[in-house]
Amino acid sequence: MNVSLIATIEKNALEAMGLIKDLETLARFETQFLGRKSELSSLLKELKNLSPEEKRTIGPKLQALREKLQTLHSEKQAEIENNTRDWEVERLDVTAPGIPRHIGHLHPITALEHEVLGIFEHLGFTVAEGPEAETEWYNFDALNFPKDHPARDMQDTFWIVGGGTKIKKGKVLERERLLMRTHTSPNQVRFMEKNKPPFRVIVPGRVFRNEATDASHEHTFHQFECLMLDETGKVSVATFKHVAETFFETFFGKKVTVRLRPSYFPFTEPSFEFDISCVLCDSAGCSTCKQTGWLEIGGAGMVHQNVLTAAGYPKGKYQGFAWGFGLTRLAMMKYKITDIRQFMGGDLRFIRQF
């Protein structure tokens, strides 16, 4: 084998390498000088036909040349890639302002619920929850609603179609009908069944009414139920009045007077509607209070003994008040919102204002 041939290959390769400016010509160089059909590869294949002495002298020379060309190839590749990088695209400006992210927040009703629960917790109330799909027993019967009470009608209550029927071994076993709870009051009974007075509990939650919706009626809204029970003689209407006044004074941050008017609810006796002095005009008269100086807030009363016995308590042993309260209504008052449908309407332009 002619040793000068190796030198010629090296000389040609180095010359070719000097002219390479892009990856395309570099690829051609690789094929020409390092590829399987290159002269160098042919010489390496021929090594096995040489005498042991020639192998010792020529073999290392060929290997050294191949390694040298491979190194040059790698270096050239890195150089070309480095030269052709788009630095404008890859540039990292650490002083550039970040991409602003929209951070969500609580729905106004949820935020208000937290605020209300916070005040009641300070007054010694615990928070409980109950199911939204309720049985007829808890929603009506246990709360002393007569069987023919109009609130049970299809016009007022969402009954769950098919709910409450159970099929066993091909037979339909009738069970109690289910409905979407129309108030949070069923939780009075649920809580009483599991707890013994004295206790103070507040149950917030969504309630559902089969209403034709308008600015002041919505099929889904938020309430909370407030229940305080102790042995007979320890909790009176005066206790309720004090709790209600303390709550509203804390909530609105000003002096509030509570006024009770006789009313009727099946689950309380005596029952009353109650009003608070208008916090918007300080009782001077405004459009919100319809110039009366009073805001209608909700219903309350002393828990009916029939409800206490339905929960399993001995008749006459305990006494206390229950108070159902519209959280959505409170939100409308607080934020001066005139259309109740805004809250559940899903319009982010409304929600983002809070």
**What residues make contact with Zn ion under the rule CB under 5 A?**
278, 280-281, 286, 289
- Minimum CB–partner distance for residue 331 and Zn ion (Å): 17
- Minimum CB–partner distance for residue 282 and Zn ion (Å): 8
Q: Who contacts 310 (Cβ-Cβ below 8 Å, separation ≥6)?
A: 141, 142, 143, 144, 189
Strands 171-174 and 165-168: antiparallel
Work out whether the CA dihedral 285, 291, 293, 295 comes out positive or negative. negative
- What's CA 264's distance to the chain center, in Å? 39
What is the full DSSP assignment across 180-238?
A: E-SSSTHHHHHHHHH--SSEEEEEEEEEE-----BTTB-SEEEEEEEEEEEETTSS-HH
Nearest one of 272, 277, 245 to 261, comparing CA atoms: 272
Cβ distance to Zn ion smaller for residue 12 or 291: 291
- Minimum CB–partner distance for residue 295 and Zn ion (Å): 7
Cβ distance to Zn ion smaller for residue 67 or 282: 282
Q: In angstroms, rounded to a whole number, what is the distance separating the alpha carbons of residues 298 and 302?
A: 14
- Minimum CB–partner distance for residue 134 and Zn ion (Å): 36
Q: Who contacts 239 (Cβ-Cβ below 8 Å, separation ≥6)?
A: 228, 321
Cβ distance to Zn ion smaller for residue 197 or 326: 326
- Minimum CB–partner distance for residue 201 and Zn ion (Å): 32
Report whether 47 contacts 102 (CB < 8 A): no
Query: Max CA-CA distance within the chain?
Result: 123
Cβ distance to Zn ion smaller for residue 50 or 280: 280
- Minimum CB–partner distance for residue 297 and Zn ion (Å): 13
Q: In angstroms, rounded to a whole number, what is the distance separating the alpha carbons of residues 176 and 220?
A: 23
Helix (H) or strand (E) holding 320: strand 318-326
- Minimum CB–partner distance for residue 252 and Zn ion (Å): 12
Report whether 132 contacts 209 (CB < 8 A): no
Rg of the chain on CA atoms, in Å: 42
- Minimum CB–partner distance for residue 294 and Zn ion (Å): 8
Cβ distance to Zn ion smaller for residue 32 or 288: 288
- Minimum CB–partner distance for residue 293 and Zn ion (Å): 6
* Cis check: omega of the bond before 270, within 30 degrees of 0: yes
Q: Who contacts 291 (Cβ-Cβ below 8 Å, separation ≥6)?
A: 285
Cβ distance to Zn ion smaller for residue 31 or 216: 216
Cβ distance to Zn ion smaller for residue 72 or 281: 281
Cβ distance to Zn ion smaller for residue 149 or 290: 290
Cβ distance to Zn ion smaller for residue 165 or 292: 292
Report whether 220 contacts 179 (CB < 8 A): no
